[in-house]
Amino acid sequence: MEAQPLQSPPQQPLYLRLSNHYRQAIQSGVLTPGQRMPSVRALTRLHQVSLSTAVEACHTLEDEGLLEARPRSGYFVLKRRRVDIEPPNEPECGHTLDPAQYVGIHDRVSDFVAKCDIYPLVTNLAGTYGSPEMYPAEALKNAATRALRKYPRLLVSAPDFLNNSPLNAVLAKRALEAGMRLLPEDILVTHGCIEALNVALRAVAQPGDTVAVESPTYHGLLQILESLGLRALEIPTSPKLGISVEALDLAFQTHDRIRAVVVIPNFHNPLGSVMPDTEKEKLVALCERQQVALIEDDTYGAMGPDDIPLKAAKAWDQSGSVIYCASLRKTLSPGLRLGWVAGGRWQARIKMLKYAQSRANDMLAQLTVAEFMASSAYDRHLARLRRMLNVQREQMAEAIAAHFPAGTRLSVPHGSMMLWVELPAGTSAQAVFDTAIRQGIRVAPGSMFSNSSRFDHFLRISCGSPFSSETDEALRKLAAIVSAHAAPPGA
């Protein structure tokens, strides 16, 4: 056989280029489940690489769950268990939308938090953060030290709310990657994305107004709406394509007090869906025609499978009608409450509301993150984070497919750090949660993500931590709990 060139970017380590080459072959079906891989020595001849490079490439694919090593036989393409699992059902778009029923999420979330406080935690499958080793702790510590050396009075000086911090300039530059053109003064740093959403909603709506949201959606958003006296109108949302623009258009025709639409177009929480660019463009155009604010939460947009960023919906904003909200807590530093908002034509009001609510963010965190994000180290960190999440999602999906009972459906996104699992019909996710939490296993029941009962048989399961034997054991126990609570056949 002739030597085969590797097509991956040359700046990647050689073993990653080799593993990418065979990952693509497996994913495209060129190499099929059960088929034997070329031997390690054959790989060295075919691709003119060292023996250690070939071994490392095979180990990488083995860690990703794509290959299995058989004693004295070599590596074989692993048969994927989850190919037999159906994705969750698509939503029904024909039912009547009634905002009057959507109240009471605080009680459900409070119950979840209280039970998590009571019972000792063994395995957390409910979080939306990576584990600490997935973030650049040492680099951030060094950046903070340099900031304090440069500004020795930083911790004893009040931050200036009126002036943009260096972080604004870095965020504006990074926004170009998502298709946005922003100036530093278009950006306001906030205490996480939750504050960005809060001030955005307060800027465009008043108590009693209706806000259209995805169904299901992030429970923190439902809490904000309830606390502000706003009425949530849940719009059917696809695990594949995101919010139904057609259903939203119909809602505009039948509800006259919709003041805002809140969406998570990129790696939706909890569905993991990504809206196609054509749908994002239609969504922005619809909200512009209706003169309704579109509030975009892009917390997970940088967590795609490769180095090509997903476009934000705001990339199609021509009139300032899109309020863009984001956070660095998932991608860079869970320990720093840093988010930001670009408020479009509502920016001045948002800035006033932020000042009234919480004043300026502390400068040490902003200077630390600004220095790191301005360097190539940030891009290397994101590349590493994406690789780890790709592996962890696949491993978690394989384990769920292996352990959970028949009738389970599974949505596996191409990015982010969560899986949306539909349990067998008639299974109460709340009952599963109540049993699991007593055994030290924490999951997020679907009832937290809607004020309707449509998702009471769903779980959101985190894949933000490296897969381990402990994780696998926790999933086995969780699967047994699901089986115990599943409705008997024919019930």
Which pLDDT value is given to residue 477?
98
Q: Closest Cα to residue 32, out of 87, 77, 64, 86? A: 77
Q: Report pLDDT for 162.
A: 79
Residue 8's pLDDT band (cuts 50, 70, 90):
low
411 forms bridges with which residues in the sheet? 420
Q: Which domains does the chain have, with CATH numbers?
A: 14-79 (1.10.10.10), 84-133+379-485 (3.90.1150.10), 136-376 (3.40.640.10)
Angle between helices 105-118 and 429-438 (to 10 degrees): 20
Q: What angle, rounded to 10 degrees, do the helices at 166-175 and 363-373 form?
A: 40
pLDDT value at 258 more than 60? yes
Is the separation of the CB atoms in 240 and 204 below 8 Å? Answer: no
63: tokens are 């860690």
Report H helices in 30-165.
40-47, 51-63, 105-118, 137-150
Mean pLDDT, residues 450-478: 95
- % residues pLDDT > 90 (the chain): 77
Q: Strands 74-77 and 418-422, how do they pair?
A: unpaired
For residues 67 and 394, is the Cβ–Cβ distance under 8 A?
Answer: no
- Alpha helix segments (H runs only) across 155-218: 166-175, 192-204
- Are 174 and 180 in contact by the 8 Å Cβ rule? The answer is no
Question: 325 - beta bridge partners?
Answer: 297, 341
pLDDT at residue 203 greater than cutoff 80 = yes
Distances (CA, A) of 42 to 4, 55, 62, 382: 12, 11, 18, 33
Dihedral sign, Cα of residue 451, residue 453, residue 454, residue 457? positive
Through-space distance between the first and last CA atoms of the chain, rounded to whole angstroms: 59
Per the model's pLDDT, the better-predicted residue between 143 and 104 turns out to be 143
pLDDT grade for 212, boundaries at 50, 70 and 90: very high
pLDDT at 100 over 80: no
Q: What are the Cα distances from residue 62, in Å, to 43, 47, 58, 221, 309? A: 15, 19, 6, 39, 27
**According to the model, what pLDDT value does residue 102 have?**
46
Tokens for 55? Answer: 């071994």
Q: What is the mean pLDDT of residues 144-168?
A: 93
**416 alpha carbon, distance to own chain's centre:** 4
The residue ranking higher by pLDDT, 298 or 486, is: 298
- pLDDT per residue as tens digits for the range 40-53: 999 999 999 999 99
Find all residues with CB under 8 Å of 215, minimum gap 6, and list them: 91, 234, 235, 236, 237, 450, 452, 454
Residue 314 has pLDDT above 80, yes or no: yes
**Average pLDDT of the residues in 410-422:** 92
The stretches of 228-267 forming alpha helices (DSSP H) are 245-254
Mean pLDDT, residues 383-409: 92
What span, in angstroms and rounded, lies between the C-alpha atoms of 127 and 108?
Answer: 17
Query: What Rg value do the Cα atoms of the chain yield, rounded?
Result: 24
* Dihedral sign (CA 78, 79, 83, 85): negative
Instruction: Tell me what the mean pLDDT of segment 23-45 comes to.
Output: 88
pLDDT of residue 99: 63
pLDDT of residue 78: 83
Tell whether the model's pLDDT for residue 397 goes beyond 80.
yes
Q: What pLDDT sits at residue 63? A: 78
pLDDT surpassing 60 at residue 198 = yes
Pairing status of strand 258-263 against strand 210-215: parallel
Helix (H, G, I), strand (E, B) or coil at 296: strand
Claim: this prediction has a pTM higher than 0.85: yes
Inter-residue contact 194 to 225 (CB < 8 Å): no
Choose among 346, 341, 91: nearest CA to 205.
Answer: 346
According to the model, what pLDDT value does residue 490 have? Answer: 56
Please provide the average confidence, as pLDDT, over all residues in the chain: 92
